[in-house]
């Protein structure tokens, strides 16, 4: 069944859609057929609360007509409606202003190796054996409601969801592109809410997700979420000041994602990036290397092609502090004159520094004193300047050991300045996340409370 | 408003007999309530970038969601086709929630749980709060493009520092048909039009951005000269201050929230905690405070579906319950949560019309509509004059709240220092942090200028739904302001 999520008829419809659009006057066409199936069991306090079954399909069409460009989609796969859909789409596209920068990617740049969709080993055959009974069993067995109590707290609520899903994408264009990607996902997430003896509530969330059911650490989630909630009891307001910042791997992408966004040609073209004119320059310290590990078989987030069908390539994004590439799709290449690359980072990975093997514990010891951030709560960054200000939750630490949870704190700074004070990049990124960012540590960071 | 039942039945290729049969199939396993939600949505957008409307498109989304309730438990499934086989398959999947065999041997399933009472509503139509004089679906693109062209021209003409304008015109028209096991049949067409603008300015090498938007439940007629002028004016308004703004010194200080868009703080920091599902599950900080004082006298907070043409307006919610004005906090006393049918049954009250969903792909849950604080007695100038040293905020973004703890953080997009009762230096790129219940209790003045903001607010609690928010000028005694 692995190659029959999108059926032969549904894939043929994508091809037919492309041919029809060409017949109606489009010069070039790209069509993406997509299908996903998801089953979910929600539990509340160890009992079934919700069961959901989802089946989604879509047909997305990019039209290049008389030098103009439009994008259209529908979830109606009936062949009889396709004709009218495309008539309307071609007609609307003709009303738009011409844009010579719009084009399909050069066929030389597109993926040729994503044929069956399962080449990356992201499809678990076991998915086909999932039953409603098995899903219920997995969801219910993971619960620990009523099994753990504390002297200082009572568990108020355990709200969890188990889900399994399969996604199938089939991408074709009028220059001969044919790409396919199939992936299964098994996920479990739980939010634990506890109340202390003073009536204060604390909630924490933990989850795991993996393409293969056998790798899902489902039974660890509830205890972990509960432990995290208990750790937050009795937070204290910490003093203002400048100190070391350690960011837990669970949330460390918060200070990496803005760098990747700033390297996107859309931001560059709009003069809305704090990394303008940075390509080829060392603007970060030597300790920062980010690779795009986009083709690792069996690992969440791996892809052979982007949404244009351009072949992904494992390559450095930032190498020892030097910016290696912008993310430039075909359109932005035309707009900016930059060489086209890939439209975005697919599976970025921050490499360990100054040595391999560092986890949170070792990094806390390395830093000695400071604030460990385990979650961000609101805030924002300025894409043009790189200034940021985020609400945080976490712990104060001293002599490499956590002393107490903190509350009502914000961290404020500028990304370029923050990264210039890099102390360490850990070696502990969670593989279930599509951005592989480990525990990070920085010095001289401003905190307000 | 299309008030023709046959239009909707024909659109979804069903008869009233089909609906009844589908419900019976949904309840066959022992569910005590079921409903059907048919949806046909057309979304379209036009994008102006670099001076020309050079991209656009549309999306069609069609399907039916089937929900089965057994007590407080939910079974949900949907089909993207309304052929009989697809709908029956979805009905059987949703019915699993009440299927003893499917859950056999699973300790803890509540198949024997007593059913909770479900509110029976009123027949269609309940109201007509968003008549669509001209349907977006039948409007020629050539009529819409000039609106964006005009906006671009007007914005560039107003300020020589403008270097980029991105303007998007989006529309969504949704045909809905709902049927439930009380035999209630509801149908309507909901329009939603939005204009969003992002402007990049440059001065002496410094770059600043500004965004502005307006959104209404209305047809093409909303694209008036007045709207274009308002948007163009707001897109450049205050940009001198933005260039001059600095991060202030942080600390704990009084915060004056400007009328209108600051209401997002009310939505995030307090509103979510009033949603009944969080309270039913014991997760909200307000779950044991019904009928108790939670803030000073004179403060009244409302969630309202009845504002004509408002982005959060509803004739009836996505469970068919009439849209209404719900007083959440009355003169400082917690008066009501926001309910869907499940939570209303749990609390044994009538649902408040807050059962909403993003689309047929989602089961409804309690959600806000237009949430605002009613006006008080104070003159906004007097409120500012009463602060010796503090901060005035007129635009927040990226707010986040922890429902259980009530802790919130909001990013200040624009505001001013208040020094000796006067607005002085502009500020930016800072956060305001606090605790929702504490902040409510610390309100010491409420202005007489209640304003609901008509921006493109979208609430993202599990699903995205359009909302709006508002607040009069309000003084909070102390909040933590993050800064240098």
Q: Is A101 contained in some domain?
A: yes
Closest CA–CA distance from residue B450 to any residue of chain A (Å): 26
Nearest to A159 among B202, B281, B285 (CB): B281
pLDDT at A248: 98
Cβ A410–B398 below 8 Å, yes or no?
A: no
Q: Does B102 touch chain A (CB under 8 A)?
A: yes
Which residues in chain B have their CB less than 8 angstroms from residue A266's CB? none
Same domain? A157 vs A279: no
- Residues A206 and A256 placed together within one structural domain of the fold: no
By CA distance, what is B411's nearest residue in A? A379
Assess whether A23 and A170 both reside in one domain: yes
Inside any domain, residue A3: no
Q: B256: which 2 tokens?
A: 């004056």
Best of A37, A49, A53 to disrupt the B interface (most B CBs within 10 Å) is A53
Q: What is the tally of structural domains in chain A? A: 2
Q: For A108-140, how does the pLDDT look when each residue is reduced to its tens digit (9 = 90+)?
A: 999 999 999 999 999 999 999 999 999 999 999
Same domain, A444 and A349: yes
Q: Is the pLDDT of residue A199 over 60?
A: yes
Mean pLDDT of all residues in chain A?
A: 95
Q: By the 8 A CB rule, do B402 and B383 touch?
A: no
Range with the poorest average pLDDT among A152-161, A352-361, A387-396, B228-237: A387-396
A176 and A249 both lie in a single domain: no
Judgement on whether residues A21 and A140 belong to the same structural domain of the protein: yes
Regarding whether A292 and A252 lie in a shared domain, the answer is yes
* Sole residue written with tokens 């402007």: B199
Q: Which residues pair with B195 in a beta bridge?
A: B169, B214
Query: pLDDT per residue over A82-110, tens digit each?
Result: 999 999 999 999 999 999 999 999 999 99
Whether residue A75 lies inside any domain: the answer is yes
Distance from CA of B80 to the nearest CA of A (A): 7
For residue A52, list chain B residues with Cβ-Cβ distance below 8 A: 74-77, 363
Which among A179, A206, A231 is the end of a domain? A231
**Residue contact A387–B247, C-beta within 8 A:** yes
Asked if B79 contacts B86 with a C-beta cutoff of 8 angstroms, the reply is yes
Judged by DSSP in three states, A1 sits in coil
**Does the beta-carbon distance from B404 to A46 stay under 8 Å?**
no
Same domain (yes/no): A63, A175: yes
Domain of residue A383: give its range. Answer: 241-448
Residue A276 has pLDDT above 90, yes or no: yes
CA of B52: which chain A residue's CA is closest? A97
Give the residue on B whose Cα is nearest the Cα of A158. Answer: B281
Q: Does some domain include residue A49?
A: yes
Judgement on whether residues A181 and A294 belong to the same structural domain of the protein: no
**Segment 274-333 of chain A within 8 Å of chain B by CB:** none
Looking at the structure, do residues A211 and A96 belong to the same domain, yes or no? yes
**Is A263 a member of any domain?**
yes
Count Cβ atoms below 10 Å from residue A40 Cβ, excluding itself.
18
d(CA A351, CA A358): 11
To test the contact with chain B by mutation, choose from A43, A69, A267, A391 the residue with the greatest count of B C-beta atoms within 10 A, namely: A391
Q: Which of A50, A270, A389 sits opposite B200 (nearest CB)?
A: A270
Which pLDDT belongs to residue B109? Answer: 37
Q: Any chain B CB within 8 A of the CB of A78?
A: yes
Give the count of Cβ contacts less than 8 A between chain A and B: 258
**Which residues are CB-neighbours of A84 under 8 A, at least 6 positions away?**
none
Final residue in a domain of this structure, among A172, A202, A231: A231
What string of DSSP letters covers B246-274?
A: B----EEEEEEEPTTTTHHHIIIIIIGGG
Q: What is the 3-state secondary structure (H, E, C) of A228-274?
A: HHHHCCCCEECCCEEEEEEECCCCHHHHCHHHHHHCEHHHHHCCCCC
Domain assignment present for residue A1? The answer is: no
With CA atoms as reference, the chain A residue closest to B75 would be: A51
Domain-embedded: residue A2: no
Asked if A72 and A207 sit in the same domain, the reply is yes
- The last residue of a domain, from among A176, A205, A231: A231
**Least Cα separation, residue B81 to chain A (angstroms):** 7
B413: which residues sit within 8 A by CB, 6+ positions away? A380, B395, B396, B397, B428
For residue B377, give how far its alpha carbon lies from the nearest alpha carbon of chain A (Å).
31
Mind listing the domains of chain B with CATH numbers? Answer: 137-173+192-243 (3.30.160), 251-482 (no CATH)
Q: Enumerate the residues of chain B whose CB falls inside 8 A of the CB of residue A193.
A: 281-283, 404
Residues of chain B with pLDDT under 70: 1-2, 100-126, 483-484
A361 in a structural domain = yes
Determine how β-strand A401-414 pairs with β-strand A236-237.
parallel
Q: State whether residue A444 sits within 8 Å of chain B by CB.
A: no
> So what's the pLDDT on residue B112?
43
Top residue of B98, B198, B207 to mutate, by most chain A CBs within 10 Å, is B207
Which pLDDT score, from 0 to 100, does residue A399 have? Answer: 97
CATH at A112: 3.30.2290.10
Higher per-residue pLDDT: B457 or A4:
B457
A333 and A193 assigned to the same domain: no
Q: How far is CA B264 from the centre of its chain?
A: 10
Flag if B402 and A384 touch (Cβ within 8 Å): no
């Amino acid at each position: 069944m692995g190659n029959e999520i999108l059926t032969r008829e549904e894939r043929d419809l994508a091809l037919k859609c492309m041919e029809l659009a060409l017949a109606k006057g489009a010069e070039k066409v790209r069509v993406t057929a997509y299908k996903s199936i998801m089953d979910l069991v929600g539990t509340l306090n160890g009992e079934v609360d919700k069961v959901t079954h989802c089946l989604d399909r879509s047909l997305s069409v990019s039209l290049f007509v008389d030098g103009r460009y439009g994008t259209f989609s529908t979830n109606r796969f009936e062949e009889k409606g396709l004709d009218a859909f495309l008539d309307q789409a071609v007609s609307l596209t003709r009303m738009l202003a011409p844009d010579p920068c719009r084009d399909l990617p050069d066929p030389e740049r597109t993926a040729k190796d994503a044929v069956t969709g399962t080449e990356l080993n992201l499809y678990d055959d076991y998915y086909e054996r999932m039953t409603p009974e098995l899903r219920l069993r997995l969801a219910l067995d993971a619960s620990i409601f009523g099994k753990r109590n504390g002297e200082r707290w009572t568990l108020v609520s355990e709200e969890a969801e188990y889900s399994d899903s399969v996604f199938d994408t089939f991408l074709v264009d009028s220059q001969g592109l044919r790409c396919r990607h199939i992936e299964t996902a098994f996920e479990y997430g739980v939010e634990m809410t506890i109340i202390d003896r003073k009536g204060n509530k604390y909630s924490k969330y933990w989850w795991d997700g993996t393409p293969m059911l056998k790798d899902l650490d489902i039974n660890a989630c509830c205890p972990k979420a509960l432990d995290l909630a208990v750790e937050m009891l009795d937070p204290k307001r910490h003093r203002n000041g400048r100190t070391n910042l350690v960011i837990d791997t669970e949330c460390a992408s918060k200070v990496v994602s803005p760098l990747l966004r700033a390297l996107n040609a859309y931001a560059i073209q709009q003069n809305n990036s704090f990394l303008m004119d940075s390509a080829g320059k060392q603007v970060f310290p030597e300790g920062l290397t980010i690779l795009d590990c986009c083709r690792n078989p069996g690992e969440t987030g791996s892809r052979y092609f982007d949404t244009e069908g351009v072949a992904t390539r494992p390559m450095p994004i930032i190498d020892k502090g030097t910016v290696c590439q912008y993310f430039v799709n075909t359109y932005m290449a035309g707009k900016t004159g930059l060489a086209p690359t890939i439209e975005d980072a697919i599976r970025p990975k921050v490499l360990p520094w100054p040595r391999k093997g560092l986890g949170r514990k070792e990094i806390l010891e390395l830093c000695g004193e400071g604030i460990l951030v385990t979650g961000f709560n609101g805030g924002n960054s300025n894409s043009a300047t790189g200034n940021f200000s985020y609400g945080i939750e976490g712990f104060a630490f001293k002599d490499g050991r956590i002393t107490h949870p903190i509350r009502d704190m914000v961290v404020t700074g500028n990304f370029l300045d923050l990264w210039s004070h890099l102390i360490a990049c850990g070696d502990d990124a969670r593989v279930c996340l599509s951005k592989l960012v480990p525990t990070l540590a920085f010095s001289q960071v401003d905190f307000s409370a | 408003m299309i008030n023709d039942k046959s239009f909707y039945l024909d659109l979804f290729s069903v008869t009233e007999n089909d609906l009844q049969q589908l419900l019976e199939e949904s309840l066959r396993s022992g569910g005590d309530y079921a409903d059907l939600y048919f949806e046909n949505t057309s979304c379209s957008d036009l994008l102006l970038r670099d001076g020309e409307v050079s991209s656009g498109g549309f999306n069609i989304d069609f399907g039916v969601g089937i929900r089965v309730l057994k007590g407080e438990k939910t079974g949900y499934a949907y089909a993207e086709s309304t052929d009989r086989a697809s709908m029956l398959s979805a009905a059987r999947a949703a019915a699993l929630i009440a299927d003893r065999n499917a859950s056999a041997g699973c300790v803890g399933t509540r198949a024997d749980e007593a059913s909770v009472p479900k509110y029976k509503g009123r027949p269609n139509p309940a109201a007509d709060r968003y008549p669509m004089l001209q349907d977006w679906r039948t409007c020629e693109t050539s009529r819409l493009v000039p609106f964006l062209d005009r906006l671009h021209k007007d914005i560039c003409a107003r300020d020589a520092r403008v270097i980029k304008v991105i303007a998007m015109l989006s529309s969504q028209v949704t045909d809905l048909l709902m049927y439930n096991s009380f035999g209630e049949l509801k149908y309507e067409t909901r329009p939603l039009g939005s204009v969003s603008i992002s402007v990049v300015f440059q001065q002496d090498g410094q770059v600043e951005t500004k965004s502005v938007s307006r959104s209404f439940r209305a047809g093409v007629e909303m694209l008036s000269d007045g709207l274009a002028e308002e948007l163009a004016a707001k897109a450049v308004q205050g940009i001198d201050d933005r260039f001059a703004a600095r991060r202030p010194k942080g600390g704990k200080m009084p915060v004056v929230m400007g009328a209108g868009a600051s209401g997002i703080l009310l939505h995030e920091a307090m509103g979510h905690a009033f949603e009944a599902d969080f309270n039913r599950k014991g997760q909200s900080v307000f779950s044991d405070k019904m009928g108790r004082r939670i803030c000073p006298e004179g403060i009244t907070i409302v969630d309202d579906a009845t504002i004509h043409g408002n982005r959060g307006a509803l004739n009836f919610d996505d469970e068919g319950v009439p849209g209404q004005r719900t007083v959440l906090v009355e003169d400082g006393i917690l008066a009501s949560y926001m309910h869907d049918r499940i939570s209303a049954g749990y609390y044994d009250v009538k649902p408040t019309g807050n059962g909403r969903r993003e689309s047929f792909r989602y089961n409804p849950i309690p959600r806000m509509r237009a949430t605002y604080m009613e006006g008080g007695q104070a003159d906004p100038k007097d409120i500012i004059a009463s602060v010796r040293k503090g901060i005035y905020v007129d635009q927040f973004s990226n707010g986040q709240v922890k429902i259980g703890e009530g802790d919130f953080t909001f990013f200040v997009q624009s505001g001013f220092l208040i020094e000796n009762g006067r607005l002085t230096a502009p500020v930016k790129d800072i956060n305001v942090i606090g605790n929702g219940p504490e902040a409510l209790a610390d309100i010491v003045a409420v202005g007489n200028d209640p304003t609901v903001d008509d921006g493109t607010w979208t609430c993202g609690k599990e699903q995205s739904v359009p909302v709006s928010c508002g607040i009069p000028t309000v003084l909070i005694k102390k909040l933590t302001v993050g800064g240098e």
